[in-house]
Structure 1
Amino acid sequence: MKKTSLLSTSLLMVLALSGCATQKPDAADQLNQQSVMALNWFQQSGEYQALAYQAFNFATLAYDKAPSLTGKPKAVIVDLDETMIDNSAYSAWQVKAGQSYADQTWSTWTQARQATAVPGAVNFANYVNSHGGTMFYVSNRDSKDAAATADNLKRLGFTGVNEKTLRLKTDSSNKQARFDAIRAEGYNVVLYIGDNLNDYGAATYHQGNAQRRAFVNQNSRLFGTQFIILPNPLYGDWESGLGEGYNKLTPEQKLQTRDANLKAWSGK
């Protein structure tokens, strides 16, 4: 009886330890794991590359067709992250390290100067700069990382990167004031290029996805002519648009919100 009891106890302990080893990851880890397929697609698929080339091919055509205004040189306003440069290695690090986004680690990544060029981005930027236009890089990277950002861009072959053309965040993440300032300086802005609807102005800033979709529908004719968008399934204001106060939710609440936003077949 004693041997049987001892054996039973041992089996129970093994089962308990096995359960601990295979326990469900916590909500923060689940949030990271949900981005793995998006990262695989972003980093490995030819389809992502094709969409990027397609975006910049359309951008080149739109730039050439845009009318010139006397005394107002053409300008193109572009976002940086996941528009002109690829930071997916930082997102992959988050998954492997089990880390959420943080300003400190993002700044460390920025200072590392390891972002790569989005396919077609360098050629397009240099085409604009060599065909009578000026590229303005308007990003919500922190201004303290300006030198590292400029160095990274120059290493990748982007031309015309300087204090005038590189406009990072100083106070607000709403880019409208920076857009207005470029126009006020006498430029004819013919194209906006980004991966986020906020890269086209303040209309969708801090808005839910219903309002963001309405903006797209109302301006459908501008996409491909004045607005060019790059695919970014990794992050963006579309995620915070899933629910009011999304960025302040707990990881568990974010998982619930993501699930609640799925449009699923009933199976019948």
Structure 2
Amino acid sequence: MMNKASLYGTGALLFLALTGCAQQSKSDAAAQLNDQSVMALNWFQQSGEYQALTYQAFTTATYAFDKAQSLTGKPKAVIVDLDETMIDNSAYSAWQVKANKPFEDKSWSRWTHAEQANAVPGAVSFAQYVDSHGGIMFYVSNRDQKDYAATLANLQRLGFPNVNAKTLRLSTTTSNKQARFDAIKNEGYNVVLYVGDNLNDFGAATYHKSNAERRNFVNSNHSLFGTQFIVLPNPLYGDWESGLAPGYNKLTPEQKLKVRADALKAWDGK
């Protein structure tokens, strides 16, 4: 008969084995979440189609800016997002895959302070066009205020014009940009165009909403896209992902994998 000490020892080993299996399962699920972004990253970093879409977006933006009505005494203003709209952070996303790391504020801040983001194709030329044709561009981003100096330096190094304390507005208390948009208008600017990679870059209407509600917003406002709203392609991340399910960002990796799989609309093969 097994003595008490042996029984406890066996129980401890079994507990450690089960705990290890659970941790391994969690690690595997987290790695799988990262691995699912590899094809999107390949497309984002390597395809000519991605570049074609960004040039197309900024060509459309230029045309929309020129066509927008001027208001007496109010300079034309363009509000743009930064990340994956004007600057490319895909190297950070690729690091996440290779290092098997989730998004974290600490590592994101390290990336920001490295000042290695590149310009999205066409972005600098569009910013320079607005600046040289009597407009003013406001860079409204949800980067943290602690990363302001590094963000400013990165943008200036890339050649974006007129980037300063007035035009660069980062997050302070909320990721909802509506208050910052309203402040720019209240300062006397005629905001004629919004450019972003996330529907939230166009106002509060889609903030923290489901994908069904976000699609309804697009359908109801379809005439504004290409005239007042310009969308840049970003398959890497965004509120479209959290819009897959209520409380998505609080789910475990295993639960997120299930939500992603369940959201697929698949042919039955027949």
TM-score (norm: length of structure 1): 0.91
d(CA) in 2 for partners of 1:169, 1:255: 30
d(CA) in 1 for partners of 2:145, 2:81: 14
Displacement after TM superposition at 1:136 (Å): 0.1
d(CA) in 1 for partners of 2:46, 2:237: 17
Displacement after TM superposition at 1:85 (Å): 0.1
Match of 2:169 in 1: 167
Match of 1:105 in 2: 107
d(CA) in 1 for partners of 2:196, 2:41: 19
d(CA) in 2 for partners of 1:33, 1:43: 16
Out of 136, 153, 162, the position equivalent to 2:138 is 136
d(CA) in 2 for partners of 1:219, 1:202: 14
Amino acid of the structure 2 residue aligned with 1:26? D
Displacement after TM superposition at 1:74 (Å): 0.3
Please state whether the residue corresponding to 1:160 is helix, strand or coil: coil
Out of 42, 66, 69, the position equivalent to 1:67 is 69
Show the 5 A alignment for 1:64-103.
64-103=66-105
Out of 204, 207, 220, the position equivalent to 2:206 is 204
d(CA) in 1 for partners of 2:91, 2:191: 32
Show the 5 A alignment for 1:219-258.
219-258=221-260
d(CA) in 2 for partners of 1:144, 1:170: 9
d(CA) in 2 for partners of 1:242, 1:65: 36
Amino acid of the structure 2 residue aligned with 1:66? A
Please state whether the residue corresponding to 2:33 is helix, strand or coil: helix
- Asked if residue 259 in structure 1 is aligned to residue 261 in structure 2, the reply is yes
d(CA) in 2 for partners of 1:225, 1:57: 12
Match of 2:147 in 1: 145
Displacement after TM superposition at 1:101 (Å): 0.2
Displacement after TM superposition at 1:224 (Å): 0.3
Please state whether the residue corresponding to 1:135 is helix, strand or coil: strand
CA RMSD of aligned residues (A): 1.1
Amino acid of the structure 1 residue aligned with 2:91? A
Tell me the alpha carbon deviations over residues 194-225 of structure 1, each in whole angstroms, 9 at most, x when there is no partner.
Answer: 00000000000000000000000000000000
d(CA) in 1 for partners of 2:192, 2:265: 37
Displacement after TM superposition at 1:146 (Å): 0.6
Displacement after TM superposition at 1:147 (Å): 0.6
d(CA) in 2 for partners of 1:185, 1:147: 24
Please state whether the residue corresponding to 1:31 is helix, strand or coil: helix
Please state whether the residue corresponding to 1:141 is helix, strand or coil: strand
**Structure 1 stretches of 5 or more lacking a match?**
1-19
Match of 1:218 in 2: 220
How many equivalent residue pairs?
247
Displacement after TM superposition at 1:261 (Å): 0.2
d(CA) in 2 for partners of 1:71, 1:158: 25
Amino acid of the structure 2 residue aligned with 1:75? A
Displacement after TM superposition at 1:232 (Å): 0.2
Amino acid of the structure 1 residue aligned with 2:96? Q
Displacement after TM superposition at 1:260 (Å): 0.5
Displacement after TM superposition at 1:130 (Å): 0.9
d(CA) in 1 for partners of 2:126, 2:162: 12
d(CA) in 1 for partners of 2:131, 2:106: 33
Amino acid of the structure 2 residue aligned with 1:229? V
The runs of 4+ residues in structure 1 deviating greater than 6 Å are: none
Displacement after TM superposition at 1:132 (Å): 0.5
- Asked if residue 177 in structure 1 is aligned to residue 197 in structure 2, the reply is no
Tell me the alpha carbon deviations over residues 107-162 of structure 1, each in whole angstroms, 9 at most, x when there is no partner.
Answer: 00000000000000000001101110000000000011111001000000001000
**Structure 2 stretches of 5 or more lacking a match?**
1-20
Displacement after TM superposition at 1:47 (Å): 0.0
Match of 2:35 in 1: 33
Match of 2:126 in 1: 124
Aligned-pair identity (%): 77
